[in-house]
Structure formats: C-alpha cells, structure tokens
Structure 1
Amino acid sequence: MNNKELKKGIRKKVISYLKETDKYLAEIELLKTLFNSTEWQNAESIGVTLSMDHEVSTENIIRFALIENKKVYVPNCDYQNKTMDFVRFHSPADLHKDEKGILAVENPTEVNNEVDLLLVPGLGFNTDGYRVGYGGGYYDRFLSSFNGRTVSVILDAQIMDIPIDDFDQPVHQIITEKRTFTGVRR
C-alpha cells in the first residue's frame, strides 16, 4: 500500500473516531495547556481554523483570543489556485459557507500570513509533529514558507504512526489532553 492509500485510510478511521467521541473534557484540558503555553502568551496574532463539528472545537480558542485582544486570522482558500491566506476574523457575523461548505470570512479586508502563532489542524500526527490532514495540501504548502510558531491541539488518540512524504511539513508542538510533544520543525 502506498502513502496516499495509507493516509486515506487514516483520514477515514480518525474522522469516524472523532464523530463518535465526546471531546468536551479533553478540550478543557487542551485549552488549559494551550492558554498557559509560552507560545500563546507571547502571541499577539493567532491563525486558527474554524473547526468542523467532528474536530476539536476552536470556538473557545477564538473567543478567548478575542477577549485577550489578540488579533485572530482564519483560513481563506482559493480552491482554483490551491492556495490559502489568513484573513482577519472579527465576529461570527462575518462568516459564510464557501463553495466547499466550509466556514470562511465573507468579505475579507485584512490578510496576515505571518501570524505569531498558527494553530495547525490535522487528523493524525506522529510525535515528531508530522501530520495527515484532509488531503488538499493547503497547510503543507502554506507551512513550507511560514516562519512563525506552529502548534496543534488534538486528542491523544490522534497520535499514531503515519506515513511521511517529502512535501509534508511538521509543526513545532503538539498538545493533547494528556501530554505535549515538541516536533522536529525548526
């Protein structure tokens, strides 16, 4: 089986697991660890996805960042060119579903691709910080030229052996409800 097929299997397995798992208590622990981290404390601008129902929720991360007067930026994908920029988020009233049914800022006015802290989503991760995402390559392309700090907040069950391709980009740190890993990203 090649890496593409292995990653497809991981995606299917993890999405199924996440849909069936009550994440509430784990998310409380994740948030405590994230909000107490040096990366969070030092960040004035945060890049974060607008989570889907089966993912670890980013709603409270966004809320807390806004309460702390951090600037929040969320992904805006150009599906034709397969690129992604981070655009300023002010409130849920700014959101709409894009052409793929993913929440996005409707009329973005400010782009910031050099946020202080980027929270990187993913389905499966290894302890070195490599990840399996949804297969579009948007984050790997973005991370290949991103110089800021990267952290992923996931459930401990999402730590696993994953196949790594040459184009895969690791994160600096992974926070689970049970432990924290420092990745190989420099």
Structure 2
Amino acid sequence: MTYTKKEMRKAYIARLQQLDLNTRVREERRLVSRLYDQPEWVSAKTVAITLSQSFEVDTAPLILHARYKGQTVVVPRTLPHRQMEFVAIDEDTTFEETSFGVLEPVDGTVIPAEEIDLMVVPGVAFTTTGKRLGFGGGYYDRYLANYQGATISLALNTQVAAEDEWEADPFDITVNKVLTPSGD
C-alpha cells in the first residue's frame, strides 16, 4: 500500500524517536564502520555532512573522523527559496539554530558543488535502491539535481523502507548508495 510522503515522514520519525538507545548505538557503530570502508569516503578530500538532529544518525563522529583524516568538512546552510549552500567548518566556526531546529554556520567559506567529493545525504527513510524520503522541504533534491559527486545515505534498520511505501515525485533524486547496519 502506498501512503503520502507526509504520512510516511510522520511514521518514520516516530519510529526513530522510539528506537531504544542500545539498538541505536549498536546500529550507528555498524553504519559508521561501513561508511569508513567505502571507497568514496576513503578517497574524498571534501565531505558534505549535516549536523544531525537528536533522532537522526549521529553525525558528530563522522565529522570528527573526517577532520582527523584531514578531509574538509562542509555542512549545509539554508537560503531563501528552499535553496542551500555548503560551508566549510572548523573549530572556530560559529553556529546558530534555524527555525527548523537545525544548527547552521553563521559565516565561513562556501564550497561549490563541484569541489564536494562525497555527500552524506540525510533523510527519514530509504529504500535499498536509493529512493529517499527527506524532511519535506526539498532542499536536498534541489541541490542534488545539479550535484555530480558521490552520494551515500546511512539508514538505521528502522529507516529501511519497501519500494512501494510512498510515491516518488518526478523531482526526487535518489542517492548512489544506502548503507544499512546489516550490510544489505
């Protein structure tokens, strides 16, 4: 049965919020380990990563690992008209909370899409073929429409969806790879 994206988004966020801590930590460790083994991660000089919200896969370890490896880490900053840009961050970056409850850099160097080697794309639910249910703003779909680099999403087991759970829109952009804790 196919549901609306809004219905699916609400259901998946509720599932994420109810996930027990031990399961979450165990699955996140597996996901992070799998990501670090991906050739896209290993070879990337510049990595785009979001600053996660409490119910999402924790991206703080990814950011620390990338910076330790000497990779440039860029995070999104929203712009008018549902656009976004990616800004390089370091230990001196100042952040502010947006109306969405997400931290964004106040200033910093904007890195063009062609200089981003890998984008770790967030979402609420994913299919194993790369279909992605985002947060509903369309920011990532708009950005990914003109992005040529590699894309990987990290999905906890509770975020893995069947292909027919929601109807894709023509503007939806799939990700190249969806990593799951079990390696499917």
Fold equivalence (TM over 0.5)? yes
> Which ranges in structure 1 are unaligned for 5 or more consecutive residues?
181-186
Separation of aligned partners in 1, 2:147 and 2:171: 14
Instruction: Write the distance in 2 (CA, Å) between the matches of 1:94 and 1:160.
Output: 36
Moved over 6 A (4+): none
CA distance in 2, matches of 1:73, 1:83: 16
Unaligned runs of 5+ in 2: none
**Shift of residue 119, structure 1, vs aligned partner:** 0.3
Q: Deviations over 1:79-104 (max 9, x none)?
A: x3210111111137522212433100
| CA distance 1:110–1:93, shift in 2 (3 Å) | closer
Cα distance in 2 for residues equivalent to 1:123 and 1:106: 26
Match of 1:15 among 6, 13, 16: 13
- Spell out the pairing of 1:132-143 with structure 2 (5 A cutoff): 132-143=133-144
Q: Does 1:27 align with 2:28?
A: yes
1:173 is the counterpart of 2:177: yes
Q: SS of the counterpart of 1:25?
A: helix
SS in 1 for 2:110: coil
**AA aligned opposite 1:15:** I
Partners of 2:167 and 2:73 lie apart in 1 by 32
Q: CA deviation at 1:150?
A: 0.2
CA contact (8 A) 2:93 2:108 kept: no
SS in 2 for 1:81: helix
> Structure 1 pair 157/125, CA: closer, same or farther in 2 (3 Å)?
same
Answer whether contact 1:150 1:171 (CA < 8 A) is retained. Answer: yes
Structure 1 counterpart of 2:168, from 158, 164, 182: 164
Question: After superposition, what is the alpha-carbon deviation per residue over 1:58-85, rounded to whole angstroms, capped at 9, x for unaligned?
Answer: 000000000000000000101x321011
Deviations 1:115-167 (A, max 9, x none): 00000001111122011101100111111110000000111221113321111
The TM-score, its normalising length taken from structure 1, stands at: 0.89
Q: Classify 1:102/1:92 alpha carbon distance in 2 versus 1 (closer, same or farther; 3 Å).
A: farther
CA RMSD of aligned residues (A): 1.7
With normalisation by structure 2, the TM-score equals 0.90
Higher RCO, 1 vs 2 (CA within 8 Å, ≥6 residues apart): 2
Count of aligned pairs between the two proteins: 177
2:109 alignment counterpart = 109
Q: What is the distance in 2 between the residues matched to 1:174 and 1:54?
A: 18
Q: Which SS does the other structure have where 1:76 is aligned?
A: strand
Residue deviations 1:17-66 (CA, integer Å, cap 9, x gap): 11111211101000110001111101010001000000011000000000
Which amino acid in structure 2 is aligned with residue 102 of structure 1?
A: V
Give the letter for the 1:151 counterpart: I
- Percent identity reads 33
The alignment partner of 2:167 has SS state of: coil
Match of 1:90 in 2: 90
